[in-house]
Amino acid sequence: MDGISLNLILTYKCNYECDHCISNCSPSREETMKIYQAKEYIDKVVSTTNVNQIGYTGGEPFLYYEMLKELIGYSYNEYGIAGGVVTNCFWAKSEKEADHKLEELYNNGLRSIVVSCDSYHLKYGSIKPIEYVVHKSLDLGLTICINTVVTKDVSISKNDIPRLLKLTDDDMENGIIIKEIGLLRLGRTLTHIPEDCLIETEDEMYFNGACPFVLKIPTITPRGSVYSCCCFGDDEVNPTELIGYGGNVNHDSIENILTNMEGNLLFNIFKYKGPYSLLKTIKERRSDIEIRGKYLSNCDICVELYHNPQVKEELKKLLREMAYQNL
């Protein structure tokens, strides 16, 4: 692999319990990575491949702030690799606290931040902490991405974010990225979000083409599972059946897992041609298989490939044939 961004899910614990969460994160979850494990993962991945950034996600990584701070400092001081973090910003109780913690993390090597601001997260928190975090991040020169989860029935969209966070035109020109995120049929979305509220389309321009994430953002979970991307769901539920599963560090070395993932036929098709290329072939081979037909993104196509039993079985046959032809 060349120039990856390693993603460590520090914990599945979260102080929120959002209806849309694909990983089922909540205050009752306890699965959390040990700091010695995280350092070991960093050491081994850095020794294996070129790492551009190490991202820390959850759950809510700021629930373990001291560990987060130490890990960001570790990768930056040992290897010169900058850190990134994803957060709901609950911890920024005041402007002073936001300033203090972000300055500490910046001095330790934090260079990018992703914050959540949408109707689902604001059910649990207020807008002020997010505002404090975004404005301090601007002052520090961090790369900022604001994720806004949208369904057909929400009251907040991408266009509302500058007003809600009091962002000026100059602020927006400083490189803030605002992304609208549609929901995948994984985790609590399946049980808490009405299907007719999900955004999807038949327009292939939204889900056709190479995947920009697979093999570029390998992700390691608290239980040691390694995935080829970050949108796979809840690792505590049938981990080997989830999207992009590559192996587990408790049963194999990280070096072997990454090498095998890099040579994996399926992942390489995703990377260079996109998952929809496979779904189209399956549709041509088996017109009797029932599929949704409307999707949101490459990730949504992967949900169909991995979680529709008939599609998954046909995919296995197709891959076996392709591997045999390449012998």
- Identify whether residues 162 and 296 lie together within a single domain: no
Give the tokens for residue 198.
């999900």
Same domain flag for 174 and 311: no
Domain assignment present for residue 287? The answer is yes
Give CA–CA dist 273/30, Å, rounded: 38
Reply yes or no: is the peptide bond before residue 59 cis, omega within 30 of 0: yes
Pick the last residue of a domain from 148, 174, 199: 199
pTM for the whole thing?
A: 0.95
Task: State the average pLDDT over residues 308-317.
Answer: 97
Are residues 317 and 195 part of one domain? Answer: no
- Per residue in 242-285, pLDDT tens? 999 999 999 999 999 999 999 999 999 999 999 999 999 999 99
How many structural domains comprise the chain? Answer: 2
Residues of the chain with pLDDT > 70: what percent? 99
Same domain (yes/no): 180, 277? no
Of 179, 199, 219, the residue that ends a domain is: 199
Q: Supply the mean pLDDT for the chain.
A: 95
In a domain, 191, yes or no: yes
How far the first Cα of the chain sits from its last, in Å, is 23
pLDDT higher than 60, residue 322: yes
212 belongs to a structural domain: no
In a domain, residue 253? The reply is no
> 257 in a domain, yes or no?
no
Taking residues 15-34, report their average pLDDT.
Answer: 96
The whole-angstrom separation of Cα 186 and Cα 165 is: 29
Q: Does the pLDDT of residue 237 top 90, yes or no?
A: no
- pLDDT above 60 (res 1): no
Q: What is the DSSP string of 52-117?
A: EEEEEESS-GGGGHHHHHHHHHHHHHHH--EEEEEE--TT--SHHHHHHHHHHHHHHTEEEEEEE-
* 256: in domain: no
Would the pLDDT of 175 be above 90? no
Q: Is there a domain that residue 14 lies in?
A: yes
Q: Of the residues 199, 215, 247, which one is the last residue of a structural domain? A: 199
Is the same domain home to 187 and 105?
yes
75 located within any domain: yes
pLDDT at res. 211:
95
pLDDT of residue 67: 98
The range of the structural domain enclosing residue 280 comes to 266-325
Per-residue pLDDT of 67-117, as tens digits, reads: 999 999 999 999 999 999 999 999 999 999 999 999 999 999 999 999 999
Instruction: Specify whether 38 is located in the same domain as 148.
Output: yes
